[in-house]
Amino acid sequence: MFEVDISSFDFSKYLIKSRTSIEAALDASLGPEKPEELREAMRYSLLAGGKRLRPILCLAACEFVGGKPELALPTAVALEMIHTMSLIHDDLPAMDNDDLRRGNPTNHKVYGEAVAILAGDALLTRAFEMVSLRSPGVPEARLLKVVGELSLMAGAPGLVGGQVVDLECEGKDVDLETLEFIHLHKTGALLKACVTTGALIGGASREVLDSLSIYANGIGLAFQIIDDVLDVTASSDVLGKTAGKDLLSDKTTYPKLLGLEESRKRAKDLVGKAKSALQPWNMNAAPLLSLADYITNRDR
């Protein structure tokens, strides 16, 4: 089997370079919207920092299949817009009711609930505009597939469905199977969309897409397990969001069901399997392999 040596890959440099191009594209993506308050509310959350893991994954998947990452940049921006929209709505009083996000007061604390909901709506719809109308140089047939993938992963079969089950389960005893369903939909679906859309733009074959789906499912679940672990072990200052929130809202999490050590081990195993799915392909795998490790080693 083909083994990829990533020891000479400078991942820190890669992260800085990717984040720099993503921040510039995010900044340029919000035009002179009217009214001003909507524009401000959209910019407030979209440009508030964050790890930018989703757009980076999209660019890395495009590179993996031999595509030019700059062609995937508008879709990478779209993914960050959908993610940011989901955070704004998740923080609302009707959902997680949180005051702190990315180290700042949440959107509705600054702009009020109505504008926060509408800023989320505007980011979600702008995401589809980025793909369908603002992706020069990408064949339309590929863009159509990307739109389809984003619709599925963000909607009822993905994020929205996962969030509904998550809310329904608050305060109830939840088994591992239900918890895995929540994590794979609420968090994993969008991470999967990052990988598949980047690969679609790069022109991936069905076989490569299948391997990338296995990779994406593994890192998606591992990402949320580590999120559960960090909720217990990290401070609000480091996380930029309220720590200890899961215990407070009586949520079932991996640490609650399996303990911290077993949760960490499970995330590590998932990442190992995710990386193995890429091994058969003699492609530009160093960024995706390093991103998988980053998911389990991160502290925020």
| Residue 106 or 135 with smaller CB distance to ligand GRG | 106
How many residues touch ligand GRG under the rule CB under 6 A: the total is 20
DSSP SS3 for 174: coil
Kindly state whether residue 106 participates in binding ligand GRG, applying the rule CB under 6 A: no
What is the CA angle 246-251-254, rounded to 5? Answer: 85
Residues 194 and 87: beta-carbon distance below 8 Å? no
Which are the contacts of 220, defined by CB distance < 8 A and separation ≥ 6?
A: 183, 184, 187, 188, 189, 191, 192
Cis peptide before 35 (omega within 30 of 0): yes
Residue from 160, 167, 232, 257 binding ligand GRG (CB under 6 A): 160
Residue from 63, 90, 228, 246 binding ligand GRG (CB under 6 A): 90
Residue from 29, 187, 197, 263 binding ligand GRG (CB under 6 A): 187
| Residue 104 or 279 with smaller CB distance to ligand GRG | 104
Kindly state whether residue 186 participates in binding ligand GRG, applying the rule CB under 6 A: yes
Residue from 26, 87, 131, 267 binding ligand GRG (CB under 6 A): 87
What's the closest the beta carbon of residue 241 comes to ligand GRG, in angstroms? 7
| Residue 204 or 223 with smaller CB distance to ligand GRG | 223
| Residue 1 or 114 with smaller CB distance to ligand GRG | 114
| Residue 81 or 286 with smaller CB distance to ligand GRG | 81
Helices (H), the chain: 11-29, 36-46, 53-64, 69-90, 107-111, 113-133, 140-154, 159-169, 176-183, 189-201, 206-233, 236-239, 245-248, 254-258, 260-276, 286-297
**Nearest residue by C-beta to ligand GRG?**
50
Kindly state whether residue 124 participates in binding ligand GRG, applying the rule CB under 6 A: yes
* Best CA proximity match to 296, nearest among 217, 219, 209: 219
